[in-house]
Amino acid sequence: MIEAKEGEGRAPAYRGTAYVVFERMSLARFGNRIPQLNFEVFRSVDNFEKTVRAVTLIPSAGEFVYDTTSVIRTENGAAIAENAHSFESGTDFAVALDQLEAQLPNVARVSMLVAWFGPDLRIGACELKPGVEVPLKDSSEPWKVCGVTREEAYVVSQISGGPAYGGTPSDAGVIRAIAGPGADRCSHVGHRGTRFYAAPHRRERRQCPKD
């Protein structure tokens, strides 16, 4: 691109230096000023990436965090993505698998954590249950775990009017993460030649006994 602008043989190679070139970048949304930009550059320095054979998949909490289908919620008339926040194509989970496959090519086993909640630290009174972030949500995909619907589910701890944790991943999303939606693009674990292991993950809400 630089050579096309400056002419053949007139563009420096910048060997050993990482640089970024923008073509016709619109500055209107940045107040007609070059915005502050941050970049993360990484490369392999040894063979460590090739020796990794298994990983644990987190965050474990998030109602649609593992779903390969894009989920949209409607809030105050606006459509908001629940699980697609990357500039790359696909859901956050699909993009994460692409990055995992590129950076750790020999991973053959994935342990996926799925969070349930225990609202009491007293073992005799604690009952593990799936939780939601909010009791009401207008989303393109319904949330349901082990037959429990959003309206019936435990609501996770709240801080300043918002959830302190992500909710339990929806069963349908976890199933799609393992088996895939049947799309051409293999965005799921099972069709990438990777063995899958489900691992329960308990989160607790601290509640002091009254007696």
Identify the top-confidence range among 36-45, 112-121, 141-150.
141-150
pLDDT 10s digits, 60-84: 999 999 999 999 999 999 999 999 9
Q: Which class for 184: exposed (0-12), middle (13-18), buried (19 or more C-beta within 10 A)?
A: exposed
pTM above 0.75, yes or no: no
Q: Is residue 109 pLDDT above 60, yes or no?
A: yes
Taking a C-beta distance cutoff of 8 angstroms, is the pair 167, 132 a contact?
A: yes
**Domains of the chain by residue range:** 46-204
Q: What is the pLDDT of residue 25?
A: 86
Beta carbons of 165 and 206 less than 8 angstroms apart = no
158 dihedral zone (left: phi>0; alpha: psi -120 to 50; beta): beta
| Predicted pLDDT of residue 193 | 63
Say whether pLDDT at 132 is over 90.
yes
